[in-house]
Structure 1
Amino acid sequence: MSEDGFYVVTATTDLAPGDQMHVELDGEDILLCNYRGKFYAVSYYCTHAFMPLEGGYLEDGCVSCPYHGAVFSLADGSVQMPPANGGLKIFPVRVEDDTVAVSATPLNDPA
């Protein structure tokens, strides 16, 4: 971890556009996504049935739950399509040189 709370979690070349990966930082389960060359970090679990979002479709700036179809914005964690009724936490992402770093401190509190 750096002094400002960011953890280097992967190389930019190891997470191609369309790819996703699970990251655990300070007790937070995070889904890191590369959507069209931009990296996003959101809560790993869907707020509907608490199933992993990993493996869901990345489309139109959103991630969909592969189990029940809830859709969330990658940019702000908001629900775009039910059955979820609560948004996701979003986490700061920093890309430097060829690394991707994520902070475990969320930017929002969707509760």
Structure 2
Amino acid sequence: MTQWIKVARAEDIEEGDVQRCDAAGTCIAVFNVGGTFHATSDICTHAYAHLSDGYIDGETVECPLHQGLFHIPTGRAMSPPVTENLKTFATRLENGNVFAEIEIKEDR
């Protein structure tokens, strides 16, 4: 089951910046790319590093650990050593807040 979860205030993420947040137990990075908000997994798929600590250049983020590149809007792995794409999350802006659609695990 998915749910829309408030992950950030839009005014807190300047254009070209990123904010790390925890959404329902998932560590995500919320990027402001040219005024459009994107959300991806915050953890690099190559080795454990927070992409929110990485270098942002336009629509790409460089992992701070081994300098692999990801395309922010799609999560696509763009250069070695990364080969596995990032998980991305749909986003929407509502009343100045950024929401991400997150899968909620139900305990049974």
- Relative contact order, CA 8 A, sep 6+: which one is greater? 2
Q: Partners in 2 of 1:10 and 1:22 — Cα distance?
A: 9
Partner of 1:30: 28
Partner of 1:54: 52
Q: Which blocks of at least 5 consecutive residues in structure 2 are unaligned?
A: 104-108
Contact 2:33–2:58 (CA under 8 A) maintained in structure 1: no
Q: CA RMSD in A?
A: 1.4
TM-score, normalised to structure 1's length? 0.83
SS in 1 for 2:11: helix
Q: Partners in 2 of 1:9 and 1:75 — Cα distance?
A: 17
Name the count of aligned residue pairs: 102
Q: Partners in 1 of 2:55 and 2:49 — Cα distance?
A: 14
The counterpart of 2:78, out of the listed 77, 80, 84, is 80
* 4+ runs deviating over 6 angstroms: none
Contact 1:56–1:64 (CA under 8 A) maintained in structure 2: yes
Partner of 1:109: none
Q: Which blocks of at least 5 consecutive residues in structure 1 are unaligned?
A: 106-111
Q: Partners in 2 of 1:54 and 1:43 — Cα distance?
A: 10
TM-score, normalised to structure 2's length? 0.86
Amino acid at match of 1:60: G
